[in-house]
Amino acid sequence: MLDTLQYALGAVSGGLVGFTLGLVGGGGSILAVPLIFYLVGVPSAHMAIGTSALAVAANAATGLISHARSHTVKWRCGTIYAAAGIVGALAGSSLGKAFDGQRLLFLFALLMLVVGVLMLRGRADQGIEGAQCNRDNAPKVVGFGFGTGLFSGFFGIGGGFLIVPGLIASTSMPILNAVGTSLVAVTAFGLTTALNYAASGLVDWTLAGVFVAGGALGTYAGSRLARHLSGTRGLLNTVFAGLIFVVAAYMLWKSAAAFF
């Protein structure tokens, strides 16, 4: 059982994660696992992964409501992407419970650096207004969805930092639409992973509740700031890439010893 201070730290952690999810549609779940494990002090890494997956899914759903009210969500694209990703997330989370992923985390951090560089290179590209999923790009959307779902489930993360560029690459939608639409998939992936871990008793439901409560406020603030930053050419892309670099550096530092 956790004490009162740990639950308070859980609420603060939820606020930070929710703000990140609302701002850039991803990265929050990568922050959630180390916050729950190192800051809150949950003794089991797998318990931290399962609990964070549930909490991040709930926070993403809150952010999705905010983006939906602003009409920045492409529902058809989000649904196709999420449906393909759920299959990948189920397979990935089943593998994640059975393997120590430290060495893969090191390689995954390198992948994040590549994604960050690509986002910076494309920061001046505002996308195509009104871009939709259609018969021509649906196979690409399905492919990106399955791939990011697999990563999401294995590492216990929402995968938004891959979903956003995946949506942009497969549909050419503007980044603000990609951020809003990504939350459909983040919610679906998180729930899939959480239910898989819950089936093994690896979710702290009380901690998840206070995490979500703190995250609701953070997500609202982050969503409002995302709409403000989107009006400045390339700024939201730069913020997004900067977050990826910071988290990747942390993951490299934590996983380097295990890899070598």
* pTM, entire model: 0.77
- Reported as a pLDDT band with limits 50, 70 and 90, residue 216 is confident
C-alpha dist (Å) from residue 143 to 50, 85, 87, 140, 160: 25, 9, 11, 5, 15
Q: Give the whole-number percent of the chain exceeding pLDDT 70.
A: 85
Taking the domains of the chain in order of start, what are their residue ranges? 4-259
Q: In the prediction, which pLDDT does 34 show?
A: 81
What is the 8-class DSSP label of residue 36? Answer: I
Select the highest-mean-pLDDT range: 37-41, 173-177, 205-209. Answer: 205-209
pLDDT digits (tens, 9 = 90+) for 123-169: 555 566 666 788 888 899 999 999 999 988 887 777 777 888 889 88
Residue pair 155/89 in contact (Cβ under 8 Å)? The answer is: no
Give the number of residues written for the chain. 260
List helix spans (H) across the chain: 4-24, 28-34, 45-69, 75-96, 102-121, 138-155, 160-171, 175-198, 205-229, 235-259
Res. 257: pLDDT tops 70? no
Q: What Rg, from alpha-carbon coordinates, does the chain have?
A: 17
Residue pair 186/160 in contact (Cβ under 8 Å)? The answer is: yes
Quote the tokens at residue 158: 């929402």
pLDDT digits (tens, 9 = 90+) for 24-57: 656 666 778 888 888 898 888 788 888 988 988 8
Res. 81: pLDDT tops 70? yes
Res. 11: pLDDT tops 90? yes
